[in-house]
Amino acid sequence: MINFQDVAVDVASKTAWVQAGATLGQLYYAIAQKSSTLAFPAGVCPRYGTMQRKHGLAADNVVDAVFIDAKGRTLGRSSMGEDMFWAVRGGGGNTFGVAVAWKVKLVAVPEKVTVFRVRRTLEQNATTITLLTGSAKYKGKSDYVQKPISETVWEGVWKKLDELGPLAGALVMIPYGGKMAEIPASSLPFPHRAGNLFLIQYDVFWNEDGAEAEERHVDWIREMYSYMTPYVSQNPRGAYMNYRDLDIGMNAVEGKTSYREARVWGVKYFKSNFDRLVRVKTAVDPENVFRNEQSIPPFSL
């Protein structure tokens, strides 16, 4: 998507058209060139402040899209219909087609606070990048926490973190609540709204080559995940789809994937929204042209 990186900001309407190949840095820069009091609540991975408690997710602020479906048609929101538009905003990657551009709603932020947060965040992120960019291999997992976790449990976490040495393993806690709790779980495919205190992102990094090193690090993160089982969401044990985790289930590598097989991982990412995603997939891509290990299958499969 390197040839699709344009960002067009409209200050008057507080919107921007963002081509799908643009990085978040390019989006933030384009907005800053036009306004010091507008921003976009994108992901937390670039550490651009966690605005989701005030403004919701990036997907909550998408108002239109340019999309190519399995038949090669170029569609907008009005031509794809509300069910497809609902599904493509966080419904399993390129499960339904290819997004070419998004129209997003920009949010107002106090000018002085914005400048302070960006400067402070960039300094922190520079340190993180320096420490982690040497890591060639990575695995991540995720959990949702709905009840406070005791100090004794956290002491066990600290011990587990010490097992691999500095910077090999990490837990990132991302706060929920606020706007996240106000938006209904069915408003988008992403369902993890009210009732969640925070998301845990488990990370493990390593540089060593060979099966032994990979097994040691992957075993560590799976053990950490197992240790946290009693203290996180249950029935289903939720997961965040952008931290793709094939441990929780995957489609058949060869042959056809059934709805029953896919539902094992599907309800962890999407809860009851999974069934609606399957209905949309069945309508727009019945031959399953767009598929991967954790793509939404059509019901016919």
Q: Could you write out the DSSP letters of every residue in 153-176?
A: HHHHHHHHHHTT-TTTEEEEEEE-
What is the arithmetic mean of pLDDT over 130-148?
Answer: 80
Residue found by looking up tokens 């009693």 in the block: 230
What is the arithmetic mean of pLDDT over 192-210?
Answer: 95
Percentage above 90 pLDDT, the chain: 75
Q: What amino acid positions are annotated as catalytic residues? A: 243
Per-residue model confidence (pLDDT) at position 13: 98
Q: How confident is the model at residue 90 (pLDDT cuts 50, 70, 90)?
A: confident
Measured from the Cβ of residue 292, the count of other Cβ atoms closer than 10 Å reads: 12
d(CA 128, CA 109): 26
Average pLDDT, the chain: 89
Take residue 24 and report the two structure tokens written for it: 């978040």
d(CA 71, CA 297): 17
Q: How confident is the model at residue 47 (pLDDT cuts 50, 70, 90)?
A: low
Q: How confident is the model at residue 296 (pLDDT cuts 50, 70, 90)?
A: very high
Residue 192 has pLDDT above 90, yes or no: yes
Least trusted range by pLDDT, from 140-154, 163-177, 191-205: 163-177
Measured from the Cβ of residue 289, the count of other Cβ atoms closer than 10 Å reads: 13
Per-residue model confidence (pLDDT) at position 116: 41
Per-residue model confidence (pLDDT) at position 136: 75
Take residue 28 and report the two structure tokens written for it: 């933030």
d(CA 280, CA 260): 17
Residue found by looking up tokens 């060979």 in the block: 210
pLDDT in tens, 231-261: 999 999 999 998 899 999 999 877 788 899 9
Q: Is the separation of the CB atoms in 65 and 18 below 8 Å?
A: no
pLDDT in tens, 2-41: 899 999 999 999 999 999 999 988 999 999 999 999 999 9
Per-residue model confidence (pLDDT) at position 122: 41
Per-residue model confidence (pLDDT) at position 301: 52
